Amino acid sequence: MRSNSYSTTLTRPRALAAALFVLVLAFACLGGAAAQSPRPQQGGPMPGGQNMAAQPPSQPGGPPPGVSQSPDYRLGSGDRVRITVFGQQDLTGEYLVDGTGMLAFPLIGRVPAGNATAAELAQTIAKRLEPDYVRNPNISIEVLTYRPFYIVGEVKQPGSYPYVSGMSVINAIALAGGFTYRARESSFYLTRANKDGSKTRVDAASETPVQPGDVITVRERYF
């Protein structure tokens, strides 16, 4: 009896060790199979025809849609333009309309740009370049960035803000932090430049489009 008990005591640890060995071997086999299974490549097509490749950010390619790309758009202080003089790399470049409405251009100096369309400015530069500097100059002008608009009155953060194409009055108010508690939330007006340089006051609604250089006034309510 003692011999059988001793034999049984030795056999149990061996059986447990064998079982553990089988489990370890099974896990190893499963891990190897998972490592050999194909993985979807990053950016490759996904089930259902979807492609998860990262899309490159959109690049600026000319003026944004809206009032600012109209041929009737009139330049003003703060607008930045690209002037291309074909065949003249030294004259081609980016230029800023300064606070007085002038644009400094090589060879010919300061050129009046404020309240001119891009086509009118191109004609002015061409006339000054010809015939002393460039014969038959071919000039194109593209507006790169537009002057800011301004918002005053009963908003939390009055001041100047970059113009965004398609902006309405209510969008501008949101950029300025929203209404103050004194604001008349349905009463606004715009001060806008005319073609002749004069200013016009325009009654506006929340959905009225904003143009570069506009001054938006949010009125105070009466208690």
Residue 80 clears pLDDT 50, i.e. is over it: yes
Q: Are residues 153 and 137 in the same domain?
A: no
Residue 25 clears pLDDT 50, i.e. is over it: yes
Q: Are residues 124 and 166 in the same domain?
A: no
| 86, two tokens | 């074909």
Domain of 100?
A: 67-145
Residue 192 clears pLDDT 50, i.e. is over it: yes
What's the N-to-C CA distance of the chain in angstroms? Answer: 108
CATH number at residue 71: 3.30.1950.10
For the chain, what is the domain count?
2
Residue 36 clears pLDDT 60, i.e. is over it: no
CATH number at residue 171: 3.10.560.10
Quick check: is 17 in a domain? no
Band of pLDDT at residue 33, cut at 50, 70 and 90: very low
Contact (Cβ atoms closer than 8 angstroms) between residue 222 and residue 187: no
pTM for the structure as a whole: 0.61
Q: Are residues 90 and 153 in the same domain?
A: no
Quick check: is 213 in a domain? yes
Residue that terminates a domain, selected from 116, 145, 174: 145
153-179 confidence digits (pLDDT tens): 999 999 999 998 889 999 999 999 999
Q: Strand locations in the chain, DSSP E?
A: 80-85, 93-96, 102-105, 109-112, 139-145, 149-153, 159-161, 183-193, 199-204, 215-220
Above pLDDT 70, what percent of the chain?
69
Quick check: is 77 in a domain? yes
